[in-house]
Amino acid sequence: MKYKSLAIFLIISSFFLTCILSIWKIMSTLQGLNFTNLNITPVFLIGILLSLAFVLIGNKMNHLIKIFSLSLIFSILYFYLNETSPYWYIFGVFLITLFFTNKLKKYSLQSLKEDFISEKIIFDFITLFGIVFFAFVILFPFYIMLVTSFKTQIALLVNPLDFSLDFTKSLTELFKSYFVIFETYNFGRYILISSAVSIGTVIVTLLFAIPAAYAVARLNFFGKNFLSNSILIIYMFPAIVLVIPLYTVFSQLGLRNSIFGLLIVYTATTLPVAIYMLQGYFKSIPKEIEDAGIMDGQNWFGIILKIIIPLSLPAIASVALYVFMIAWNEFLFSLMFLDSPKSFTLSRAIQYLSGDAETPRQYLMAGSVIVTVPVLLIFIYFEKYLVSGLTSGSVKG
Amino acid sequence: MSDSLSKLEKRTAYTLVLPAVLLVFAIVLFPIFANVWISFKDIELKDIRIPEPRAKKIVKSISENQSELKIIYKLRNSSLIQEIRNVQFQDKFPTNISPVNLDSRCNFQSKKVVCDFGNWQAKYRENFEITIQNNNGEIINKKIIKSQKPILSGKANNPLLTTNFTLENFKKVFYENNFVELLLTTFYFTFFGTVGAIIFGILAAQLVNQNIQGRTYMRGILLFPYVGPVVALAYTWTLLLDPNSGTLNALLVNFNIIEQPINLLGQKYITMSILGFEFKLRLALTTVIFFEIWRYFPLAFLFILARLQAIPQSLYEAAEVDGASPIQKFIHITLPQITAIISILFMIRFIWNFNKFEDIFLLTGGASGTRTLPINVYQQGFAVSDIGMGSAVSIVIVMLLLSFMVIYFRLIGKRANEV
């Protein structure tokens, strides 16, 4: 049994090491290194040797000294196996190997005799591999978006794999795409429009949603159950089936190409989710606090303003952030309703830019970075609120 | 006393709810019903403008003394298809000015020229002239005359409100639209997009639920594709997958994994051979599905992770004592705990994927075999400009959606009793 689990351990761990090293190699290729071979088999074989050496040495050596010396030997072997590569690349290989051997710490010839050890090994390494895989797959497009915006068209055509940034250039050279899209393509205006529409939507939605959510959460009236049930059903209906009637009516009313028209539509489409999220929170506020307010002779307006809103600020904040993100990211309605460049939102402007095949792609990517960064910053900063809001089960996409 | 209180409560409730309800009704519910109306009409994009009478005023001098001026009104019907009935015209002039030889259709009274032009056919055009003179023989200020704009009014049918209906749109949807392929593509996209997102969601949730360092960061990063703007992400992918200079193809060619770049978003089929069997894969559609999975697995991940974290640790400890393997633990403890959330997720995502428009539109525009029902609404309504037909497709979507919802609520109702 021991040999079987040892074999599985060697193969799986070496496979994992090969995968990370391949990702490292791909990333280095994108920095302009001229690799044409992933060298999977030799790396895999010396990976097996490394793991074998690790378990054979066992506790005979101090852990730190062991991983340092093993990583060093591995890196040197790797260096000879590979095509010519600069020292920073090999240093990266050394760090990865260090990380890898450190992860091997809990395995020894002894531990390989445990129950279900093969399954545990597989689970351990799949977890590690999965995390590297997911992080890579998710971040890679964002990385490409960012670095492309700093390159020039010619450089990208000469070598589409070279994404290295030349920091010796002046800052104006480096940020040229950003200057161009602000000066030639008027992105400053689009940022303003997008912010105005999104912030406007947040304010109007809250103005409508807070009273309605309060009524649904607290008051008794005919049709209340029907209302609270239909909120979610309405939310299931897609924007695409609303587009044609809204387009025709807005054309006749002259609301197309107007920020006001967009604002109405965004408000109406985000209201159901806002009411749904808010009423859930309002229900959790103890009723006694309101009763005290009623005793003081407050009317409903006073109760909402002085009791409900101050008590539910976190929920209101999270709804506001959501509505902002939905309105900021919205594309379908802005595509349908806006055809004059004077009233474009950011998303629509980028789509318009891409409609011209001549537009250099670094401009497109610079625009994409501009529209993405605010949302990601908000998300990272307020992650806790947003995640709890998301899991309340109501955000569409 | 309590009766009047409950009345007050009701009235308050209605005042609070009404604005929101009205707005949602006007923007969300009304269009759904309006679709039914439009889908039975033979109407195109160019028909939806209500025709209106228009006039362009040109002022010309005719004599040396400038106490007389000629005014030309270029009159026209803005519509190329519809007539305007009972067109009324009115223009104001300063004091002491009166028209000479006024057209028989017009009157001059209290400083105004009022005309009744009758009916204008579609494409109607006329150059209508008035000569004016100053009664005291003084010079007329051209600018003042020009700054006064004529007022026109007329009655026209709103083509949306006429009552001639036709079944033509639905006939076209079902018989001339490759309807079966459209439906199959939509279901293929929806089903695999949903299942893929859930599988990756389970994997990611299982990973993040382990005790690893930096798991909160990991959770944040995993949600990036979901919160990012679709336009930016779709164009980044297009760039990444571009056959000529895209990074992915360049990498694959560079490492000799493929010989020729593959047009992942522009090629309808690719022939693959696995174990000697050759079969055709819908390449562009598959790529779009992968984008869909990439963008929406985070939502599934988040829900499943929340459920996983609620599973009592004691269950796993008990299983450990019983000597269960990691796989057994997953199958017998984790999986039963997350089936409820998975089925809910499946149904929600199924409905939303079914309606997905932006992602496909931005990646392929519906070309190379990625035409789904929502894409078809756009193509019919705005690319072919056949509004009636677009509405008919919308109605088909709504109908399918309603039937999904009936199934969904039936199943969820049962689920709710089980959980």
pLDDT tens by residue, A322-336 = 899 899 999 999 998
pLDDT in tens, A73-89: 888 888 887 767 788 88
Mean pLDDT of A273-283: 86
Is-contact A228 A214, C-beta < 8 A? Answer: no
Indicate yes or no: CB of B6 within 8 angstroms of CB of A220.
yes
In a domain, B19, yes or no: no
B323 and B209 within one domain: yes
Mean pLDDT of A309-330: 88
Give the Cα separation of A162 and A168 in Å (integer): 16
Residue B110 belongs to domain with CATH number: 2.60.40.290
Reading the block at residue A249, the tokens are 């009516």
Where among B155, B180, B196 does a domain terminate?
Answer: B155
pLDDT of residue A395: 47
Give the Cα separation of B322 and B316 in Å (integer): 10
Give the Cα separation of B232 and A371 in Å (integer): 7
B288 and B195 within one domain: yes
B221 and B91 within one domain: no
Q: Residue A397: which pLDDT band, with cuts at 50, 70 and 90?
A: very low
Q: Calculate the alpha carbon distances from B34 to B21, B245, B392, B395 in Å.
A: 18, 46, 11, 10
Indicate yes or no: CB of B16 within 8 angstroms of CB of A219.
yes
Query: Residue A65 is which amino acid?
Result: I
- ipTM, 2 dp: 0.89
Around Cβ A41, how many Cβ atoms within 10 Å? 8
Task: Tell me the angle at which helices B387-418 and B30-39 cross, rounded to the nearest 10 degrees.
Answer: 130
* pLDDT reading at B234 higher than 90: yes
Q: In terms of Cα–Cα distance, which of B243, B365, B223 is closest to B299?
A: B223
Q: Calculate the alpha carbon distances from A7 to A55, A109, A117 in Å.
A: 12, 12, 12
| A295 and B CB contact within 8 Å | no
Give the Cα separation of A288 and A292 in Å (integer): 6
Domain coordinates in residue numbering, chain A: 2-148, 179-391
pLDDT of residue B418: 47
Chain A residues with CB-CB distance to B228 below 8 A = 142, 329, 372, 375-376
Is-contact A31 A62, C-beta < 8 A? Answer: no
| A37 and B CB contact within 8 Å | yes
Could you give the maximum distance between any two Cα atoms of chain B, in Å? 115
B119 and B92 within one domain: yes
- Give every CB contact of residue A143 below 8 A, 6+ residues apart in sequence: none
**Which residue's structure tokens are 């450190």?**
A102
Where among B155, B182, B208 does a domain terminate?
Answer: B155
**Chain centroid to CA A221: how far?**
42
Quickly list H helices, A222-286: 224-236, 243-253, 259-283
B272 and B219 within one domain: yes
| A321 and B CB contact within 8 Å | no
What DSSP designation does B332 have? I
Q: B53-61 and B68-77: which strand pairing?
A: antiparallel
Is-contact B43 B159, C-beta < 8 A? Answer: yes
Indicate yes or no: CB of B236 within 8 angstroms of CB of A209.
no
In a domain, B302, yes or no: yes
B142 and B190 within one domain: no
Where among B99, B128, B155 does a domain terminate?
Answer: B155
B135 and B188 within one domain: no
Is-contact B105 B46, C-beta < 8 A? Answer: no
Mean pLDDT of B250-271: 82
* pLDDT reading at A61 higher than 80: no
Q: In terms of Cα–Cα distance, which of B158, B159, B161, B179 is closest to B170?
A: B179
B236 and B304 within one domain: yes
Q: B269-274 and B106-109: which strand pairing?
A: unpaired
Give the Cα separation of B193 and B361 in Å (integer): 16
Q: Calculate the alpha carbon distances from A387 to A175, B13, B299 in Å.
A: 34, 31, 10
The region of weakest confidence among A105-114, A194-203, B132-141, B407-416 is B407-416
Reading the block at residue B411, the tokens are 């199943």
- Give every CB contact of residue A366 below 8 A, 6+ residues apart in sequence: A149, A177, A178, A180, A181
In a domain, B386, yes or no: yes
CATH number 1.10.3720.10 given to A179-391: yes
How does the average pLDDT of chain A come out, rounded?
A: 84
Domain count, chain B: 2
* pLDDT reading at B263 higher than 80: yes
pLDDT in tens, B302-312: 889 888 888 88
* pLDDT reading at B147 higher than 70: yes
Chain B residues with CB-CB distance to A397 below 8 A = 226, 295-296, 299, 352
Taking the whole predicted model, whether its pTM rises above 0.90 is answered as no
The region of weakest confidence among B181-195, B265-279, B341-355, B394-408 is B265-279
**Which residue's structure tokens are 């696995």?**
B274
Mean pLDDT of B71-88: 80
Q: Residue B413: which pLDDT band, with cuts at 50, 70 and 90?
A: low
Is-contact A36 A149, C-beta < 8 A? Answer: no
In a domain, B284, yes or no: yes
Mean pLDDT: which of A50-59, A209-218, B172-181 is highest? A209-218
Around Cβ B181, how many Cβ atoms within 10 Å? 11
Q: In terms of Cα–Cα distance, which of A27, A81, A23, A95 is closest to A49?
A: A81
- For chain A, the residue count is 397
B211 and B300 within one domain: yes
pLDDT of residue A306: 84
* pLDDT reading at B410 higher than 70: yes
| A241 and B CB contact within 8 Å | yes
What DSSP designation does B51 have? P
- Give every CB contact of residue B103 below 8 A, 6+ residues apart in sequence: B115, B128, B130
For A129, the closest chain B residue by CA position comes to B207
Sign of CA dihedral A333, A380, A131, A111: negative
Q: Which of B24, B230, B394 sits opposite A268 (nearest CB)?
A: B24
pLDDT in tens, B316-362: 888 888 878 778 888 888 888 888 888 888 888 888 899 899 999 99
Nearest chain A CA: its distance from B168 CA (Å): 18
Mean pLDDT of B63-84: 78
Q: Residue A394: which pLDDT band, with cuts at 50, 70 and 90?
A: very low
B105 and B72 within one domain: yes
pLDDT in tens, B97-143: 878 777 778 888 778 888 888 888 877 888 888 888 877 777 777 77
Nearest chain B CA: its distance from A371 CA (Å): 7
B407 φ/ψ sector (left φ>0, alpha ψ -120 to 50, else beta): alpha
Q: What are phi and psi of B104, to 5 degrees?
A: -65, -20
B374 and B345 within one domain: yes
Which structural domain range is residue B175 located in? Answer: 170-418
* pLDDT reading at B277 higher than 50: yes
What does the buried/exposed string (b/e) look like for B377-409 if buried means 16 or more CB atoms within 10 Å of the residue's CB? bbbbbbeeebbbbbbbbbbbbbebbeebbeebe
B148 and B181 within one domain: no
Q: B68-77 and B106-109: which strand pairing?
A: unpaired
pLDDT in tens, A123-178: 888 888 888 889 899 999 999 999 888 888 888 777 777 777 777 777 787 888 88
How does the average pLDDT of chain B come out, rounded?
A: 83
Around Cβ A145, how many Cβ atoms within 10 Å? 23
Rg (C-alpha) for chain B, rounded Å, is 34
Mean pLDDT of A187-212: 93
Q: Which residue has the higher pLDDT, A393 or B414?
A: B414
Residue B238 belongs to domain with CATH number: 1.10.3720.10
pLDDT of residue A347: 92
Is-contact A371 A344, C-beta < 8 A? Answer: no
Give the Cα separation of A151 and A34 in Å (integer): 19
Give the Cα separation of A303 and A299 in Å (integer): 6
Mean pLDDT of B177-206: 91
